[in-house]
Amino acid sequence: MIVRRSFFAMAFVGIAGCFSLVSAPKNKDGGTGLLAVGADAPEFSARDETGSSFALSSLRGKAAVVFFYPKDGTPGCTKEACAFRDNFREYERRGAVLIGVSADSEASHDTFRKEHKLPFPLASDANGSISSAYGVKRMLGMTERITFVVNKQGKIVKVFPNVDPGVHAQEVLAALPGE
């Protein structure tokens, strides 16, 4: 009986420890949690799947959709990325740029992008600095699925904290700022 109780106590501590790995990221202003509508989109530079570096500021003058997703190749992430791909021409027509962000490596992004013919960059956030700047949580090395729509001036105009990969690309299109 003592062994059984000890085992369950250790299991509970182990599970609680997993949840402590999810910490509320600190924002630039010292606050925690997701950035709100009206906030400046944090500048970031990252390497894409080809190893090329790019910066968010280089996209000023265009609307940007920065979508965080958990992991390359998983069913939900594949569904979401392919829906963005299938609507890519409409995003281009509306003057918006898509950027996918996850903790996966550049090599993983390269494979994922090629396999699904994704026409937009995937930024590697292996150290978590981009997700932290946006207040996006990470758990067990995977990023939470959240999307930010950024206007031409670099302000966040819409945040999607609860993403349904099947309809998300259309929701984001509807939320893009007008000219």
Residues 143 and 125: beta-carbon distance below 8 Å: yes
Distance of CA 116 to the CA centre of its chain: 18
Is 18 one of the catalytic residues?
Answer: no
User: Looking at 56, 66, 77, 118, which residue is catalytic?
Assistant: 77
Spatial separation of the C-alpha atoms in residues 15 and 97, rounded to whole Å = 40
Length of the chain: 179
Residues 152 and 61: beta-carbon distance below 8 Å: yes
Q: Smallest Cα–Cα separation from 33: which of 134, 102, 127, 101? A: 134
- Per-position b or e across 132-150, b if 16+ CB within 10 A of its CB: bbbbbbbeeebbbbbbbbb
Q: Smallest Cα–Cα separation from 179: which of 86, 59, 63, 64? A: 63
Strand-pair partners of 44: none
- Which amino acid appears at position 74 of this protein? T
Catalogue the active-site residues. Answer: 77
